[in-house]
Chain A
């Protein structure tokens, strides 16, 4: 059974997922996943992520490599390059077929995608011009607040009185956050304010592609419970977060890779 790897070369992290399928229609088998910081060398990061995903499986078993994400063209050992929009839609549709709107918040880009009933991209809008509304906004804020990124979501959920953040710019927000801290606003309330701000900006993107009743939320930020809550409350939608939310693009690329491989053979 040939193995296919989907490698998502994101601006922050590189994620790899190795899958196989015993012919079309058969169950998909996920053999492993792995991720690492992207750094500046795409090949190096991809190699590392793939190695983690393969674990003990020999590299030579991988018959096809589908690259996606911001750095996909920098990946020298790819068989195909797929846009992250297409892979996000494909992966999200596979995991949550009932939902037709996908929100992917990455390190540097936030994407809102409308998906057809067959899992194709209907339309999409993305913000990659500035860090406002991206995962980087949260990362910067967490840094100012000296909160480890992994704890951000759990703290934000506990907010009693979310503190609205008026600065859109991730850099200018720093002064505002410092100001709130010095006025005695709790870290929880500030973090939730940041999630609310991000939810509003995501909502603006989603409205432009047509906001559905159910939203599939993917990307690393989807691990943060506070962000999920913020999206639910601010946008008034059901939010579905698939398992392994940060691997959805890698999965989508792998699924498309399987089809390509089947067509080739």
Chain B
């Protein structure tokens, strides 16, 4: 059995995925852990948790590819790839037909234009400001005193979303408090917050060519309110895999399988670093 792993060390959470290839590629197991201060420890812990849940010994894993911002600290890994390539590759695998990836992570957000084979054509990234990231939503949830898992469903109930003028994570706190003091309903405040961030993300994504199918990846894809808000401003449905949160790790695991197969050099994968940074 050929088994390979992808480990995605994100700014907030570390994800690991085990994949096997018996003629057909299949996800064997996934694991998630908070990244915290010790990046290597988080990567090891996610990797071993993954092996454990698949019921295999870590030595059975033939190849490990690291990705995410902490990828160079994964000393047990065989290779590293950028998270841009991995999200594109993962999305193409799990959501065939993907031509645009919108990735909203813990501390950055990206839009990636993807070619037919999952190759990166172009990308833009916002890592300068917390707007459009999980961090923004976590902050808003905290100010409202609501769990992060609840804000999405709550925002879907909005009947008259409030206008949020700022996308600054710090300033939105006073916006929220002032709306609360005016007696605005929490769902309308949260609806406004999600819409503001969706618009901001759309303006980022417009800098690459947005072509269907659009696939959303990253931890924020688990927030149904954000998905709905993004689909509203985009004017089209997006593909959301149940593994959207693990997409970077899935892509890394596919690359790991390919490296193992030694077919890697022959794949059409290329990364055009043409994407301008925000």
Contact = CB atoms under 8 A, between A and B. Distances in A.
| Interface bracket on A | 20 to 34
A75 to B, nearest CB: 15
B174 interface: yes
Contacts of A132: 129
Given A11-B174, A40-B177, A175-B11, A170 B169 contact: yes
B130 A171 contact: yes
Given A130-B166, A131-B171, A171-B130, A40 B107 contact: no
B178 interface: yes
Interface string B178-198: 100100000000000000000
Contacts of A1: none
A129 interface: yes
A171 B169 contact: yes
A179 B37 CA distance: 8
B168 A131 contact: yes
Interface in B127-169: 127-131, 135-136, 139, 166-169
| Interface bracket on B | 20 to 34
A47 to B, nearest CB: 17
A197 to B, nearest CB: 13
Contacts of B168: 129-131, 170
Contacts of B128: 167-169, 172
B184 to A, nearest CB: 13
- Please indicate which of the listed interface residues A168, A169, A178, A179 has the most CB atoms of chain B within 10 Å of its own CB: A169
Interface in A156-170: 167-170
B170 A136 contact: yes
B107 A175 contact: yes
B181 A40 contact: yes
A76 interface: no
A131 B174 CA distance: 12
Contact of B171 (A108, A175, A182): A108
B139 A171 contact: yes
Contacts of A167: 128
A172 B135 contact: yes
A190 to B, nearest CB: 16
Contacts of B167: 130
Contacts of B169: 131, 169-171
A178 B36 CA distance: 11
A140 interface: yes
Contacts of A140: 170
A179 B107 CA distance: 15
Interface string A193-232: 0000000000000000000000000000000000000000
A175 B167 CA distance: 19
Contacts of A182: 37
B176 to A, nearest CB: 11
A170 B178 contact: no
A130 B37 contact: no
Contacts of A130: 129, 131, 166-168, 170-171
A140 B139 CA distance: 13
Given A172-B107, A172-B130, A182-B37, A40 B166 contact: no
A171 B166 contact: no
- Please indicate which of the listed interface residues A108, A130, A132 has the most CB atoms of chain B within 10 Å of its own CB: A130
A175 B136 CA distance: 14
Contacts of B11: 175
Contact of A169 (B129, B166, B174, B177): B129
Contacts of A178: 37
Nearest to A169: B129
A179 B35 CA distance: 13
Contacts of A40: 177-178, 181
A172 B177 CA distance: 22
B35 to A, nearest CB: 10
A131 B167 CA distance: 10
A129 B136 CA distance: 15
B135 A129 contact: no
Nearest to A137: B170
A170 B170 CA distance: 7
A171 B37 contact: no
Given A40-B177, A171-B135, A129 B166 contact: yes
Given A130-B170, A132-B129, 13 more contacts: A40-B177, A108-B171, A108-B174, A130-B168, A130-B171, A136-B171, A167-B128, A168-B129, A170-B168, A170-B169, A171-B139, A171-B169, A171-B170
20 contacts: A40-B177, A40-B178, A108-B171, A108-B174, A130-B167, A131-B168, A131-B170, A168-B128, A168-B129, A169-B128, A170-B168, A171-B135, A171-B136, A171-B169, A171-B170, A172-B128, A172-B129, A172-B130, A175-B107, A182-B37
